[in-house]
Structure 1
Amino acid sequence: MHVTGKLFIISAPSGAGKTSLARALIANSGNCRMSVSHTTRHRRANEVDGVDYFFTSKDEFLAMTEDGVFLEHAQVYGNYYGTSRLAVEEMLAKGDNVMLDIDWQGARLVRQQMPKAVSISILPPSIDELERRLRSRGSDSADVIAARMQKAYDEMAHCRESDFIVLNDDFNQALRDLTLILDGEGDSIRPLTLDIDALLDGV
């Protein structure tokens, strides 16, 4: 009998460590692949087309949207991002587990179309720590950081929609929690001790 892969959705505010955790998870797994999104954002010097993103023009992206190419798509900070439905389905058909790195809105759309997908929210230990991580990058202006923080509040406010919530207060522990979820043992992850309401207090 042919075995198809599982679809995992990881959502988190910028600065929560989602990208680093996802890369480590894939590196430690033999059959998990990250879905490569399409974007209209300009390619940065260290990025590779087809590896980091599929870089495309706005006109091409909008035409693909009209053709129903995307499983989900969104506009973020003036740029468009989208997940190819065909690419995801092909990887799943090969038996690969597929990981989507998308926000809560995209996650909601994907769950509606693929209800067997497993959704995971990654949270920072505190708002202060999240802002510290964003500032430590040294690549964003104060206005950009403020915009990212506001979007972070919005992202975290929807974390309860996910099947699992993982706290990234300790990278190795968070990675172990994610590995358990990937292996179908999500009930064994450590209990969430973070008070989400307190985390979002004043938002």
Structure 2
Amino acid sequence: MTSENPRIERRGLLLVLSSPSGAGKTSLSRALLEADPHIALSVSVTTRKPRPGEVDGRDYWFVDEASFKAMIETDQLLEWATVFGNYYGTPRAPIEKAVAEGRDVLFDIDWQGTQQLSERMAGDLVRVFVLPPSAEALETRLKQRAQDPPEVVAKRMAKASDEISHWAEYDYVIVNSDLAESSAGLRAILAAERLRRDRMTGLSSFVRGLHAALE
């Protein structure tokens, strides 16, 4: 009998990270992307202006409001939302193609976008909500980021309570008190979800072949 290591085909998954701003989902996303070459970040379309260091096509696709609305009208977006006066959305075609080809995609989106993805691609979705260890830690992180003026930080803090109220809509919750520990937990979630029986599209044929070889 020969020893083989057959490759079982698998449908890709959509791993969603949501949190109030400042809870650490961006740091967790970066850590996961560095640790796992088999998952890629979904690049959203947005009407907001680029922040220092952001690159068009890498961090976001930056478009004007008219272009964004045209994408909505022609059903080119899987999900979209308005956040602090700016539009954000996920292009449909590259995501559907990636999942069909067995590639995993990471999303850094809010609860509104997650709800819309749940309506369109529920079977492919893995939802993770990231919580800060305390309100004080959240405010400290927002201030230390030094990316927003004080009035924007105040708005983000005011909105955090509403965002956190949606935690129960998610499959997993990570309290991000320690980045290394939270990153390990996120990798464990991804590893388990990749092994779900209903995602392995080639499993039935593999098992039939295994039965035939053993008879």
What secondary structure is seen at the aligned counterpart in 2 of 1:115? helix
- Unpaired runs of at least 5, structure 2: 1-7, 195-215
Counterpart of 1:64 (choices 71, 77, 81) is 71
Counterpart of 2:43 (choices 18, 29, 36) is 36
Q: Cα offset for 1:155?
A: 1.1
Counterpart in the other structure of 2:108: 101
Q: Percent identity?
A: 45
Counterpart in the other structure of 2:59: 52
Matches within 5 A, 1:76-155: 76-116=83-123, 117-155=125-163
Counterpart in the other structure of 1:195: none
Q: Cα offset for 1:2?
A: 4.2
Structure 2: which amino acid aligns with 1:41? R
RMSD in angstroms over aligned alpha carbons?
Answer: 1.5
Structure 2: which amino acid aligns with 1:153? S
Counterpart in the other structure of 2:208: none
Q: Aligned partners of 2:193, 2:104: CA distance in 1, in Å? A: 15
Q: Cα offset for 1:54?
A: 0.5
Structure 1: which amino acid aligns with 2:127? S
Q: Aligned partners of 1:133, 1:10: CA distance in 2, in Å? A: 18
Counterpart of 2:24 (choices 13, 17, 20) is 17
- Unpaired runs of at least 5, structure 1: 187-203
- Structure-1-length-normalised TM-score: 0.87
Structure 1 residues 50 and 185 mapped into 2: Cα distance closer, same or farther (>3 Å)?
closer
Deviations 1:79-120 (A, max 9, x none): 110001111111212221111111011111111211121100
Structure 2: which amino acid aligns with 1:46? G
Q: Cα offset for 1:141?
A: 2.3
Q: Aligned partners of 1:48, 1:185: CA distance in 2, in Å? A: 31
Counterpart in the other structure of 1:183: 191
Deviations 1:104-162 (A, max 9, x none): 11111111211121100000000011001111122322211111012211111111110
Q: Aligned partners of 2:115, 2:134: CA distance in 1, in Å? A: 24
Structure 2: which amino acid aligns with 1:16? A
Of 116-125 and 140-149, deviating more is 140-149
Q: Which has the higher helix share?
A: 2
Structure 1: which amino acid aligns with 2:148? D
Counterpart of 2:169 (choices 142, 151, 161) is 161
Q: Are 2:14 and 1:7 equivalent residues in the alignment?
A: yes
Task: Give the ranges of 4+ consecutive aligned residues of structure 1 lying more than 6 Å apart after TM superposition.
Answer: none
Q: Aligned partners of 2:53, 2:167: CA distance in 1, in Å? A: 31
Structure 1 residues 65 and 185 mapped into 2: Cα distance closer, same or farther (>3 Å)?
closer
Q: Cα offset for 1:9?
A: 1.0
Q: Aligned partners of 1:127, 1:64: CA distance in 2, in Å? A: 37
Q: Which has the larger radius of gyration?
A: 2
Counterpart in the other structure of 1:171: 179
Q: Aligned partners of 1:88, 1:54: CA distance in 2, in Å? A: 15
Q: Aligned partners of 1:90, 1:185: CA distance in 2, in Å? A: 19
The count of residues paired between Structure 1 and Structure 2 equals 186
Q: Aligned partners of 2:172, 2:93: CA distance in 1, in Å? A: 26
